[in-house]
Chain A
């Protein structure tokens, strides 16, 4: 079966340890990911959530694989747009690889469905979020457009 899938690759001048922290810890995600935070015990099978600044659940799912500083796989469903929630779970993979003084971050977001509206929606958001993450780690400042909720980048 055909599936919808997006792959993003970005090189960030940082260490895998710092990048890992930035991807999951609230003090970082608030800055580059539209003021959201994530909640999880980061163990396989643990529940996982993205919370909006008011505490509402934006997305939820489960940790599938976790290999600190290297690989994280999540089951991911949108929770605040009914038409996207109806499509069910997608799969998100972060892969971190050291390359010289940088880390190659690969983000794969996929859904076992063709013409997924969810994948279309996240494909508009990811480039902004990832560019902002890169900026935060390399310069200490995230991109302004990704600092508040709700913004185009986070819908």
Chain B
């Protein structure tokens, strides 16, 4: 679990996860296109994410495809967020989203 938190502590690595969220199963080259990092830096981050099991790798011929693996986050969620809290948190998160959307849609007064 330490590996998961360590991997998540870096904004570049979270950006990589976001990229895979948008499109799962990308190659290293595809990932590099969206990021302002050297290929070496991306490779280094991917290794850490893979070690933490936040990314799963599948080979398709000679291509190495990277997939977002939700399992470690799911395990953390199961560990600290019980089944009763889940509904309350969902309600709060819906409320937050609802209010923030209203705010952006309403033109500024004054």
Contact = CB atoms under 8 A, between A and B. Distances in A.
A7 B83 contact: no
Contacts of A10: 53, 71, 75
Interface in A1-27: 5-11
Q: Secondary structure at chain B's binding surface: helix, strand, loop or mixed?
A: mixed
A5 B25 CA distance: 8
B31 interface: no
A135 B78 CA distance: 10
Contacts of B78: 131, 135, 143
B53 A131 contact: no
Contacts of A145: 83
A127 B70 contact: yes
B56 interface: yes
B37 interface: no
Contact of B69 (A5, A8, A128, A143): A8
Interface string B70-96: 110011001000010000000000000
Contacts of B24: 5-7
B71 A108 contact: no
Contact of B74 (A7, A108, A127): A127
A8 B74 CA distance: 11
Contacts of A11: 53
B34 to A, nearest CB: 17
Contacts of B71: 8-10, 127, 130-131
Interface of A: 5-11, 106, 108, 127-128, 130-131, 134-135, 143-145
